[in-house]
A and B are shown apart, each in its own frame.
Chain A
């Protein structure tokens, strides 16, 4: 189908972007790899698309004490290729190739994925596992929100009107595991796992099991895989989707937990 009619503006700076966002029916366009399909299917009907693709400041990956700051407009393909990401936040480098297909990874962005908060998406789960800090900029101020309070529900985040997600800070965590079960490469996961481990313990997050990524607190703290698998029932209450029952999803989550456990359990 063809998208409905809308106006389009491409600000050259964040300062130019904020007043545009205050117009009725305005919506941010980043990489567009989720928004444009929803326009083509007429599931979204914005009056104005504010294309932030020209904001060069949002395209950097930079080092910071204890980790990396990644700009909202860094693409999945750039994350996949980045040596800095591979060394400092390998979880993201492992996750990127799972996102759709090469042509889509060339356009889709980190910020777009985090801001959309699709429950089946890879980066929100990674951000929660790493307890990343999301950086929101409004006309007046910058606001920093931890991933654990950013994802509110199905496609719902803590972003307030007038705010733009400009980037995220990820702590350096070398031990990680990223796994998905999909029927075909590039499909949304039936169940996915994003996990990290350091001296303070494991943080294992599941996605595609609920309306938002879920930190499996009990399983993460378990001493053995056997205990962890038993505790998973306390952490997850999966909802059935069109293809899988809740029981299947819980079972598959246990399968992924088993596959990831050894990697995340090696001594530090």
Chain B
């Protein structure tokens, strides 16, 4: 820990200060230091999207941001957005459409899909597919996932 630096982040509304090794990425920090295991680690090089979290209100790849880069930032994870009920409509739609098989990609799918909800307009299936193209479902359950998202933001 010779290089460890102190950083303060607001995670799901709670301010946390920790000494962090620069090499630790944000999702490892959230999972291993804070016990927030809803953000998943898939590929660790930005391809699969399982680690999607929000930083300062925008979704990012949690594996492509160092935890020390989030010093002074507001971070929101699936845990926070579930508790605040922000995701309630999408979560209900995912249930109703059985839009998960193993569920590994689901937290990040919800985080990504909520970006569409936030835009307060309607989207075509094609637009939905393009938007979630950076989130892989290795069970390949995309049809039901797109159905679920479409039921909330579809045209």
Contact = CB atoms under 8 A, between A and B. Distances in A.
Interface string A69-106: 00000000100000000000000000000001111101
A107 B23 contact: no
A25 interface: no
A31 B115 CA distance: 20
B45 A2 contact: no
Interface residues of A, number: 31
A127 B43 CA distance: 31
B69 A32 contact: yes
B155 interface: no
Interface string B33-60: 0000000000011100100100000111
A104 B23 contact: no
A29 to B, nearest CB: 8
Contacts of B115: 102
A53 interface: yes
A-side binding surface: helix, strand, loop or mixed? Answer: loop
A32 B65 CA distance: 7
29 contacts: A1-B44, A2-B44, A3-B25, A4-B23, A6-B23, A8-B68, A10-B71, A32-B69, A33-B46, A36-B64, A36-B65, A37-B46, A51-B69, A53-B69, A100-B134, A101-B133, A102-B112, A102-B115, A103-B49, A103-B59, A103-B61, A103-B134, A104-B61, A104-B134, A106-B59, A107-B64, A185-B133, A186-B133, A186-B134
Contacts of B22: 5-8, 49
A39 interface: yes
Nearest to B58: A106
Interface in B126-151: 129-131, 133-135
B66 A32 contact: yes
Interface residues of B, number: 31
A32 B58 contact: no
Contacts of B25: 3, 36, 40
Given A36-B65, A102-B131, A8 B44 contact: no
A100 B65 CA distance: 16
A4 B63 CA distance: 14
Interface in A202-229: none
Contacts of B69: 29, 32, 51, 53
B5 interface: yes
